[in-house]
Amino acid sequence: MNNVIDLKEIETIYEGEKIPVIRNINFAVEQNDFVSIIGPNGAGKTTLLETINGLLDYASGKGFVFGKEIKKNKNIIRKNIGYVIQNFELDPRAPFLCKDIVMSGRTGKIGIFKFSNKKDWETVCKSMSLVGMIDFANRPIGKLSGGEFQKILLARALAQQPSLLLLDEPFSNLDFSSRRQIEILLNRIHKKENITIIMVSHDLSFVPAGCRRVVVLDKGQIIMDDKKEKILKSEIINNIFKKKEGGN
């Protein structure tokens, strides 16, 4: 099994609920792929990402990441998965410095009962430089703009030196210039660092140039999985997004 991700007939249900959020998911990703998962709000994109890194348990099916079954090896596989969570509201007075947040990405990798050393701090500096945020190392995290905060979260995930990067709506709440900067950054990271990237977005126009494959998720199911060019030209996809926009 050489795939980085291999999901077979996966179904995920939230605790206390009966209807699965995602179902019949068959999804395989090869090493160094850059895949965008797109779909309207409520399609199950975040659930799919959190099923991949084991934050949510699947109710049925089989899921493998790095050839290991997700359910049995959650903590092991997570050490090699960088996760950039959907932009969340942070208290502007939160008592954390950017460098500490980026270092927190390495916590699992360093391991319990061990302390961060000079090499760990070098990795932190390297990932902050990569996202162009090295000058912000000693700034309070709550003082950053949306774009800067997003870059720090990305640096945090990169400091983990992951083999797989999961990005949940990395462009949400960003203005055009910040969005463009992060898009360029993702393309660069993908080329330079040889990382497999899965990115979810609710907007068709947010698919980065470096991404070759697009998966369309609607109502918890994969309805299309093809090359980016084909998907973007598809009538079906335009209808889904038009219908949702009309409904709103």
Partner 1 sequence: MIEIPLALFLTSVLGAILAGFSCSTMGVFVVRMNLSSIGYCMSHAAFAGAAFGLMVSIDPMIGAIIFSFATAFILGPLSEKARLESNVVIGFLFSFMIALAFIFLNLIPGQAASAKALRILWGSILSVTPNDVLLLAFLSALIIIFIVLFYKELLSVMFHRKLAESSGINTKFFYFAVLFFTGIAVSFSLRIVGGLLVYALIINPTSTTYQFFYDFKKIIIFSPIVGIISCIVGYYVSLMSDFPIGASIVIVSALFFATAIAISPKRRKKNGKKPV
Which residue, 49 or 237, is less far from partner 1 as judged by CB?
49
Q: Which of these segments, 37-45, 126-134, 139-147, 213-221, binds partner 1 (CB under 8 A)? A: 139-147
Helix (H, G, I), strand (E, B) or coil at 72: coil
Q: How far is residue 213 CA from its own chain's centroid? A: 15
Among 8, 9, 67, 92, binds partner 1 (CB under 8 A): 92
Q: Which helix (H) or strand (E) holds 214?
A: strand 213-218
Among 83, 136, 149, 206, binds partner 1 (CB under 8 A): 83
**142 token code pair:** 């709550």
Which residue, 164 or 185, is less far from partner 1 as judged by CB?
164
Asked if 59 and 12 touch (Cβ cutoff 8 Å), the reply is yes
CA-closest candidate to residue 225, choices 1, 5, 2: 5
Q: Which residue has the tokens 């947010």?
A: 206
Least distance from partner 1 to the Cβ atom of residue 79, Å: 4
Contacts with partner 1: how many residues (CB under 8 A)? 38
CA-closest candidate to residue 134, choices 119, 120, 124: 124
Among 11, 57, 69, 100, binds partner 1 (CB under 8 A): 100
**181 token code pair:** 């900067």
**Cα gap 131→151, rounded to integer Å:** 6
Among 22, 25, 65, 81, binds partner 1 (CB under 8 A): 81
Which residue, 40 or 44, is less far from partner 1 as judged by CB?
44
For residue 191, which phi and psi values (nearest 5 degrees)?
Answer: -70, -45
Which residue, 53 or 214, is less far from partner 1 as judged by CB?
53
Least distance from partner 1 to the Cβ atom of residue 236, Å: 33
**Cα gap 67→77, rounded to integer Å:** 10
Which residue, 149 or 231, is less far from partner 1 as judged by CB?
149
**Cα gap 56→245, rounded to integer Å:** 29
Residues 47-66 that bind partner 1 (CB under 8 A): 53, 55
Residues in contact with partner 1 by CB under 8 A are 15, 53, 55, 75-76, 78-79, 81, 83, 85, 88, 92-97, 100-101, 103-110, 112-113, 115-116, 140-143, 153, 156, 160
